Amino acid sequence: MKKNVKKCFIAFSLAAFLAVTPSAFASGGGHGGGHGAGAATQAAKSPSETIKAVIEGNNTFKEHAGSRHFDSFQNGQVPNLTVISCADSRVHTHLFGFEPDNNIFIIRNVGNQVKNSEGSVDYGVHHLPTKILLIMGHSSCGAVKAAMGDYSGETSGIKNELDPLMPVISQDDGEGSFKERWAKNVERNVDYQVDYSMKLYHDKVSHGDMVVVGGVYDFNNNYGQGRGSLIITNINGEKAPNKIMQDPVLKELAKGDVVTHVSSLAP
Pair 234, 191: CB distance under 8 Å: yes
Q: Looking at the chain, how many residues does it have?
A: 267
Over residues 62-117, the pLDDT tens digits come to 999 999 999 999 999 999 999 999 999 999 999 999 999 999 999 999 999 999 99
What DSSP character marks residue 249? G
Over residues 241-265, the pLDDT tens digits come to 999 999 999 999 999 999 999 999 9
Average pLDDT over the chain, rounded to whole?
A: 88
CA 82/CA 128 separation, integer angstroms: 9
Determine the 3-state secondary structure of 135 from DSSP: strand
Domain parsing of the chain, residue ranges: 1-29+39-71, 74-261
Mean pLDDT of 190-203: 98
Please give the pLDDT value at position 19.
37
Determine the 3-state secondary structure of 163 from DSSP: helix
Query: Quick one: pLDDT band at residue 33, thresholds 50, 70, 90?
Result: very low
CATH for 74-261 is 3.40.1050.10
Please give the pLDDT value at position 267.
76
